[in-house]
Structures are given as C-alpha cells and as structure tokens.
Amino acid sequence: MLYNAIIFYVVSLVILFLVLFKTKEPLYAVVISTLVYGIFTFLNNIPVLIKYTLDGLFSFSSLRIYLLIFLAFYLANLLRELGVLDALTRGISSISPRLAAILVPSAIGLIPMPGGALVSAITVEKLYFKTLKIKRDYATYLNYWFRHIWVPSWPLSQSIILTAAILGLTIPDVLSTTFIGTVAVLTLIPYIVYRTLPKVELSERDVKSVVEGLWIFILIGLLVIIFRIPLEYVLLASIALVSILYKPSLNIHKSSFKFAAKWNIFVIIAFSLVFKEYILNSGADIQFKEFITVYHISPYIIAFLLPFLLGISASSEYIFVVVPFPILSRFIIVNGVINHLMLLLAYASGWLAILLSPVHLCLILSAEYYKVKIIETYKYLIPSFIYTFILTILIGYVVFNII
C-alpha cells in the first residue's frame, strides 16, 4: 500500500482524539496512540520496533530533554517556595495596579508548572476584585490568557524544548521564529490596561521588589537567547546561584525535587519522543510530503489544521507539538533550512488553540476559583485568539520575507 504509514498515522490520530475526549488525560492518549502506530507500522519486524522504541526512550537527545524538563521544574518550585514571585507581585502592583493585572499572571507564567494559572489567580484575587473591581469573567480571562503569553518566547517552555528536539534545532533557533507570537499578544496590553481597567491612585512605588523578582529570569533569557549557552548549563547555574543567594532549606530542595520528578509528565515526554522516532523511521513524513504534493494540498493548510485540532481538544501544551510536528518536519526543515513562516504557523495555531480548549487545566482551575462558568470567558478568548493569530502571521510574513 503506497501510503500505509499515513493511514496508520491517521488511525493513531483518531485514537488519540477518542482517548482525549473519553478520559481528558493526555498521558493515556499519547501512550496508546504511540503504541498503536508503532505496532501497526512495525508489526512484521518486532526487533526493529524494539530498537526504535529504545532509541526514542534512551537516546542522548532524549535523556537531555528529560534533564531539561527536570531542571526547569526544579528551578520553578525553588523560586516559588522562596517567595521570589511574591516580591515581584508586590513590586509590579505598587508601580501600576492596572499593569499588574496583566503582568503578574504573565510573570508567574515564566515558571513552568501544571495548573499554574491557579497560583496567579490566588495571587491577583485582591487586586482584581478589591482594588480594580473588575467582573469575574473578565478577571478569569485576564489571568488565564496572560499567564500563557510567554509560551512562544521563553526557553523554559516545554513546548519550545520539545519543538527543538523533534525538529533537530537549537532552542534559540526555534525562539527566533516563534517569539513573534508573544510580540503580537503584547500589543493587546495598551488597549486592555488603558481602555478596560480603572485608574487607581498609588501610595508608594516598590521598584526594588521588581528587580528582586525579575533578575533570575532576565539572566536566563540573556544566557540562552543572546549568548546561546546550552539550557542545561544555564539551569544548573541558576539553581546553584539561587541556592547560594537565598539559602533555601533542605525541605525546600526536597519539595523541589518531588515537584520536578512527577512521573506522568516524563511518561508523556518519553512516549512523545518514541512517537517521533516511529514517524521518522517509518517514512511517514516522506509519504506525507508526497501525498499532499500529488493531491495539490497546501502544506500551510495542514500546518494550521493539525496543531489547531490537537490543541483545541487537549489539556496540555505537549500535544500540539508531539503529534503533528514529526510529520510536518519535512515542510518546516527543507534541505537543512528552516521555513520560518511554516514553523510559526504550526506553532501559533497550536499554542493559541490550546488556549481555547475547554479542558485546559489552567482555564478550569481559574474559572472554578473565581466561580465563573467557562463558557462566559469565550466572549474574550475568541476575539483575542483571532486578533493574536492574524497579527502573528502578518508580522511573520513581513519579517521573514524581508529577511
């Protein structure tokens, strides 16, 4: 059969959707769909199936990804336990409560953690309802949407790390394309701050707390993005530096280790890397390129639809990268050259689609905490999605055509 690998890919995709809708659990969806694809594709050659499975699980690049995710979560919990975010929140709120309504959730978004929007929801609750007196559905939207604005531009973002691993790129290479998504969403801030939020009188500005809360994030960004130092070295150095300066207790280190060693996250990542190995070694990416060429289907349509459909049906940002990107890799990387617009389109559609997902853990937790029906937030989420996506692609089209 000419396109057997594509057929098996579609079957595994259908199974992934079914499991997601049934269980709302990305772990089961990724594991089952990966195993189905691998068994269907390599059933006649079990030793090869075992080899590719082990390669996906234990190759040097896979072990590096596990280390990066572990260190990112370790540092995240360390900063949270030490109150670094609390200092940042105090400082931003003292400078501008209106800006703080957006910047506090976005600052907390710099720390990768499942359901992190609940942390920011608790942090800004008094600011939203006592200081600014905004409606609960709007507060839910602000906290949830702006909690995720750094996903395309922050080196600790899990989806950025996985995108780099799947496409065989460095993290700065990926960020040099996807950061445009953050630029687009940042243009919403002046309108929201000055047109939708009330002005509040200030008593005293606490710039020192802002510096105390931001320095580590600025350092990480500079070292990874500007100086292009490998992320694992930057994270190790950051953990060591924070430990020297703040002297966290042994209990805080134990808590950070426990937080970073959550097995379910590593199982998802491990099987995502196995899935990539199956796709690339089965020739599905090559067959897919031949298929859409023969039938004159625009790869840009597929690059939008696959991540979008997976993102809007998932509860985690892993899904929109790990399933479509291996099969899109032949269009994103052509003769060793990055098709920046294709990468931006695929990443932006998945990132923004997952913010529309009704099963996104951050949306569920934010809405529950603020006692709001999820459906009430969509009058803000949908226009934000449309605006941000269109502006992202327009900026990308202009920038990458000039370059």
CA pair distance 240, 221, nearest whole angstrom = 17
State the pTM of this model: 0.89
Looking at 82-196, list the stretches that DSSP marks H as alpha helix, in order from N- to C-terminal side: 84-95, 97-108, 116-123, 125-126, 136-147, 158-167, 171-186, 189-191
The contacts of residue 251 (CB under 8 Å, 6+ apart) are: none
What pLDDT score does 135 carry? 96
Number of domains in the chain: 1
For tokens 């900063």, the residue is 79
CA pair distance 312, 390, nearest whole angstrom = 17
What pLDDT score does 203 carry? 63
Cα 298 to Cα 293, 313, 325, 345, 374: the distances in Å are 8, 23, 16, 13, 35
Tens of pLDDT, residue by residue over 209-245, are: 888 888 999 999 999 999 999 999 999 999 999 999 9
CA pair distance 184, 397, nearest whole angstrom = 13
Structural domain boundaries enclosing 339? 4-402
Q: For the chain, which residues score pLDDT lower than 70? A: 1-2, 202-203, 315, 403
The contacts of residue 384 (CB under 8 Å, 6+ apart) are: 141, 145, 185, 188
Length of the chain (residues): 403
What pLDDT score does 20 carry? 82
- Residue 227 is classified by DSSP as S
What pLDDT score does 239 carry? 96
